[in-house]
Amino acid sequence: KLLDGKFDKAGGDINGRVTVNSSTIRIIGTDDWPGLSIRKKNSEEARIEASNTITTLLDISYRDTENKRLNTFIIPRKSGTAMTVGEYGIGIAISSIKTEDIAKDWSTRFVATPGEPGVANSLPWGVGVHIAENAYGCVLHYDPSSKILRTCSTGKDNAVLTSINTVYSTANTTVDSNGNLKAASPIVKLFADHIELNEESEDVEMEHLGVGHYLIKGVVGFHADGAWGINNGFVIPQDHNGKNMVLIDYKVRPDGDIEVFVFHQQNADLPERFQNKRIKHFDKDGNPVYYENYEPCDVPESRWIDMRVEMPPNSIYNLKQAEAERLAKEEAERQAEEEAKNAEIEAEEDI
């Protein structure tokens, strides 16, 4: 009730707006859950209350018309600063930043890069995370277009990326016909009567021109980086003693297509039990007829020849890459324009 227009200290209701001119409002609870409720007209309410647990400082809850707790936000009993959505790249689609800027703000956070062709020690278009400790850190970066993961070292003092390394995975390696892991992209596996392709070589075709004679179409010769060394982009199947089962020759046509010629290799210099004797067919009496040494033959059954090739600019994969880079560039430009506009608005509001 009211006493001469004043609020009764023992309790009561106040109708209308109330202003308290004080630096402190104190609520002293009669139990271990003292709190403050803010009730809506429909009787739903938000409640802020102290907690009686050793790990929680406050509970902020939303309650329905029957006072049932629907949602709770817990503030822990420890020092710290609460993050907002968007800080450190969490909870939003983040804006791209240059590679050189990743470590300038020395913190652990998620990042996105626009790709900077021609810039030394820069990362391609992609997303990643910078993990920082007191003096050193690292970046884990993923390029969605090539599906390649990279790792980089960072230092707080110089704030630059060093030691950019590519992680080997199923996206950039292949297991060759002898079970060895090798750098991939684009790869053609040439079998006796067909080919198998990876994503980067998906529009390559093969024509079987004759016994041991194949034409690989839709390529521009072998891969230019020479990662497979003197083998010039070939891996030949071997037996259990590490001896080649066939010999190959090749010819790169003017249009880039590759002719492959395959010949039987008997390894006749070895003792007979170690030689590669391969049945060609059976005669009319059922006796096996073997391939002669260096005789043209198809790729051995269930084995294959690995070829690392170069793809033309208009290949399916290269066109996909170009489109992804174009979209990434447009998105980076859009984000830059949006940030510039927001900066102008903030500057005008400060005036």
Question: If pLDDT is split at 50, 70 and 90, which confidence band does 308 have?
Answer: very high
- Confidence at residue 5, expressed as pLDDT on a 0 to 100 scale: 60
How many CA atoms are closer than 13 Å to the CA of 313, on its beta-carbon side?
A: 1
Mean pLDDT of 3-9: 62
What are the pLDDT digits (tens) for 184-201? Answer: 889 999 999 999 999 899
Produce one character per residue of 282-314: b if its CB has 16 or more CB atoms within 10 Å, e if not. eeeeeeeeebeeeeebbbbeebbbbbbbbbeee
- Confidence at residue 62, expressed as pLDDT on a 0 to 100 scale: 93
Calculate the CA 317 to chain-centre distance.
Answer: 17
- Confidence at residue 117, expressed as pLDDT on a 0 to 100 scale: 81
SS3 assignment, position 261: strand
pLDDT higher than threshold 90 for residue 219: yes
- Mean pLDDT for the chain? 89
Count of CB atoms situated within 10 Å of the CB of 213: 14
- Confidence at residue 287, expressed as pLDDT on a 0 to 100 scale: 94
Calculate the CA 52 to chain-centre distance.
Answer: 44
What are the pLDDT digits (tens) for 7-31? Answer: 666 667 777 888 888 888 888 888 8
| Residues 6+ positions from 219 with CB-CB distance below 8 Å | 186, 188, 201, 204, 256, 257, 258, 309, 310, 311, 312
| Residues 6+ positions from 111 with CB-CB distance below 8 Å | 89, 94, 97, 102, 127, 128, 129, 130, 139
SS3 assignment, position 325: helix
pTM, full prediction:
0.68
Instruction: Give ∠ CA 215-221-222 in degrees, rounded to 5.
Output: 110
- Confidence at residue 190, expressed as pLDDT on a 0 to 100 scale: 98
Backbone angles phi, psi at 172, to 5 degrees: -130, 15
What are the pLDDT digits (tens) for 145-196? Answer: 888 999 999 998 887 788 899 999 988 899 999 999 988 889 999 999 999 9
| Residues 6+ positions from 4 with CB-CB distance below 8 Å | none
- Confidence at residue 1, expressed as pLDDT on a 0 to 100 scale: 47
- Confidence at residue 290, expressed as pLDDT on a 0 to 100 scale: 95
What are the pLDDT digits (tens) for 83-102? Answer: 888 888 898 888 888 898 99
pLDDT higher than threshold 80 for residue 55: yes
Question: If pLDDT is split at 50, 70 and 90, which confidence band does 105 have?
Answer: confident
- Confidence at residue 276, expressed as pLDDT on a 0 to 100 scale: 94
Instruction: Return d(Cα 212, Cα 269) in angstroms, integer.
Output: 23
pLDDT higher than threshold 80 for residue 78: yes
Instruction: Return d(Cα 170, Cα 181) in angstroms, integer.
Output: 10
